[in-house]
Amino acid sequence: MSEFDEPELSGYEPVPERRRPRPMLMVMRVVVVLAILGLVLPSLLVPLRVAASTAQRGCDILVALEAPGSVGNRVSFELFSPIGPGWNCYSIAFGGDEVLVHAFGLIPVGVAEPVEAPPVVEPEDS
């Protein structure tokens, strides 16, 4: 008795494997790669954009406070700056010279505008 004498397998003939044509396989690979990029790219770009806008707003405040005579400011992410990698804020002087105002680091933190303290009232001696 052989293994093919079983009644369930009588008359069974294996069907040859169907292979997909090469162009269809390439299209599927391209679609999968695009789908993965569509999922991963926004998760990389959104935090980068938020960090850039936070650094720009902080730089606007700091340049207004620390370099009021400047004609503008510039924020840039630098890997090899003298202070280390991160977001750096530069004020731009009238002649085009750039002066480093603040180094925010890798993750910029918002800068709050200083609030003037209320005047101190001394108690009167009676």
What are 9-32's pLDDT values in tens digits?
Answer: 677 777 777 776 788 889 999 999
Quote the mean pLDDT of the chain: 85
pLDDT in the model for residue 17: 77
Number of Cβ atoms within 10 Å of the Cβ of 61:
17
Cα 7 to chain centroid, rounded: 64
DSSP, collapsed to helix, strand or coil, labels residue 16 as: coil
The string of DSSP letters for 41-103 reads HHHHHHHHHHHHHHHHHHHHHHHHHH-TT-SEEEEEEESS-SS-SEEEEEEE-TTS-EEEEEE
Q: Tell me: the pLDDT tens digits for 82-102? A: 788 999 999 999 888 999 998
Look up tokens 């510039």; give the residue. Answer: 74
At residue 36, the pLDDT reads 96
Name the β-bridge partners of 78: 86
Q: What is the pLDDT of residues 40-72, one digit of tens each?
A: 999 999 999 999 999 999 999 999 988 888 999
pLDDT at position 57: 92
Does residue 11 or residue 1 have the better pLDDT? 11
Q: Nearest 5°: CA angle at 82, between 79 and 87? A: 45
Which residues fall within 8 angstroms of residue 18, CB to CB, at 6 or more apart? none
Q: Which pLDDT does position 117 carry in this prediction?
A: 67
